[in-house]
Amino acid sequence: MRKLIALGALLLPISLAGCVSRPVVMYAAPPPSPALADANRQGYNDGVAAAQRDIAEGRRPDPNRHPRFRNPPVPPPLIQDFRSGFMAGYDQVMRGGAQGPGY
């Protein structure tokens, strides 16, 4: 038993010598541009307003009917981001979660 403890005491520093920490390198996508965030937020707010109008006027829920969804008021590279935000806001209201524009 003593030989096992002595061997363990001898091998422990040797086994830990290989555990030198290496620098951690993380690769992350660059943050989205502020224009993307603004387009998404604008789409969300427009979607909330559109859904609230549909509810107030007793219309069937259909975000594709709204002109701002079909023709977003943003430059072409931001259209998808705007529509994504619009759908999120519209769905949030239709599920009873959003009370007004915000983000």
In the chain, how many domains are there? 1
Q: Report how far residue 98's alpha carbon sits from residue 55's, in angstroms, rounded to the nearest whole number.
A: 13
Residue 40 is assigned to a structural domain of this protein: yes
Range of the domain at 52: 32-103
- At residue 94, what are phi and psi to the nearest 5 degrees? -65, -25
Residue 87 is assigned to a structural domain of this protein: yes
pLDDT (tens digit, 9 = 90+) per residue, 34-48?
A: 777 899 999 999 999
Residue 62: CB partners within 8 Å, gap ≥ 6?
A: 54
Return the percentage of the chain with pLDDT > 70, whole number: 65
Supply the Cα-derived Rg of the chain in whole angstroms. Answer: 28
Residue 81 has what pLDDT? 94
Residue 103 has what pLDDT? 46
* Mean pLDDT, the chain, whole residue set: 80
Residue 43 is assigned to a structural domain of this protein: yes
Residue 70 is assigned to a structural domain of this protein: yes
102 token code pair: 């915000």
Contact 75, 22 (CB under 8 A): no
Residue 44 is assigned to a structural domain of this protein: yes
Q: CA-CA distances (angstroms) from residue 78 to 81, 83, 94?
A: 5, 9, 24
